[in-house]
Amino acid sequence: MDKVARLRQRAKELLEKQEVVGVLGYRASSRPGISQVAFITKTEEVDRLIFDATCSQNLANYLLKVKDKGKVAVVARGCDSRSIVVLLQEKQIERGQVYILGVGCEGVIVQGEKSVSCRSCQYPNPVIYDEMLGEEVHFEPEKVEDEFDRLTPDERWQILSAEVARCIRCYACRQVCPNCYCPVCFVDASMPALVGKTHNVSDNMVFHIMRALHMAGRCVECGACHRACPMGIDLMRFNRQVAKIVRERFGLVAGAKPDEMPALTVFKPEDPQEFIR
């Protein structure tokens, strides 16, 4: 039985036995190339569920929207499951609230190409789950040769400036991110306003840098924001860099291990702390 058939069958059973109030997964949209999130609550609707390379969104984000309805089942790939781990660690959800239908993922395809975040994915399989739908997936992640570190600060600034200059501040990146859940985002604070709201490079850069820093040790590099950006901003550039710094300095990977807290939420005596000397 393939993954999708198994998914539909299990969704049906979970709903029938009333173990969950709904199943969070994907369904086909009106267009090829991108699927839509589905919250299935009726057994007769389980056949709408799909799982393929068009499943672009991170379902952990939608988990926050439906969590108050009761226990829900959620389809989770490696990245989604890591986001769930971060949400658990940050006490946004409880483990008992979710039933995780794990699924191995070969990567999201965008316009005929593997999404940039998926190419170097180290976690195609969920790190936590209640059951696996089908076999685990194994592939050799592409090594992303990143020239960024070899550039001078000025050169880096130029690259980032060119990227954020296109930003229209629609906040799609924030809205699709499961770990951007603040009730009032820093850019929306108005008394006092913390960030300039115009679209000049300076204001845009403040937004993007602050976003990246808030994501430090929490971003699981799922690439949902990168794919969501209507202006094609290379958001993975920011995410990758932040994750790399956290990995190198704290030896941690966001959401990879449920018992390993996010880097910036715990203090360890051996943490690098030259900056407070």
Partner 1 sequence: MKVFLKNEDLKKLLARFVQEGRLFAPVRRCGYSGWDRVSSVDEVVLSREQAILQGEEVNTREPAKIFVFPRSETLFEFEGEEAVETGEIPELVVFGLRPCDGRAMAFLERFFVGNGPEDPRVRQRREKVTLIGVACNSPADSCFCTAVGGGPHENKGLDVLLREVAGGFLGEAVTSKGEELLTGFPEATAQQDAEAEKLKANAEATLALKIDLNRLKAALDNGFASPIWERLTLECVNCGACTFLCPTCHCFDVFDETVRGRKRRSRIWDSCQFTLYSQHASGHNPRLNPAARYRNRVMDKFKYTVDMLGEVSCVGCGRCVRVCPAGIDIRVAVAEILKEAAQDGR
Binding site for partner 1 (CB under 8 A): 29-31, 34-37, 39, 56-57, 61-62, 65-66, 111, 166, 168-172, 174-176, 188, 190, 193, 196-200, 224, 227-228, 230-232, 234
| Residues counted in the chain | 277
Dump the DSSP string for 31-95: STT-EEEEEE-SGGGGGGEE-STT--S-HHHHHHHHGGGS-EEEEE-HHHHHHHHHHHHTTSS-G
CB of residue 135 to partner 1, shortest distance in Å: 27
Of residues 28 and 93, the one with the C-beta less far from partner 1: 28
CB of residue 27 to partner 1, shortest distance in Å: 9
Of residues 55 and 84, the one with the C-beta less far from partner 1: 55
Of residues 8 and 227, the one with the C-beta less far from partner 1: 227
Of residues 200 and 273, the one with the C-beta less far from partner 1: 200
Query: How many angstroms separate the CA atoms of 166 and 168, rounded?
Result: 6
B/e letters for 139-148, b = 16+ CB within 10 Å, e = fewer, are: eeeeeeeeee
Of residues 125 and 163, the one with the C-beta less far from partner 1: 163
Of residues 93 and 261, the one with the C-beta less far from partner 1: 93
219: Cβ contacts below 8 Å, ≥ 6 apart: 179, 239, 242, 243, 254
CB of residue 64 to partner 1, shortest distance in Å: 11
CB of residue 127 to partner 1, shortest distance in Å: 24
56 phi, psi to nearest 5 deg: -90, -30
- Residue 260 in tokens: 């390993």
- Within 13 Å, how many C-alpha atoms sit on residue 115's CB side? 28
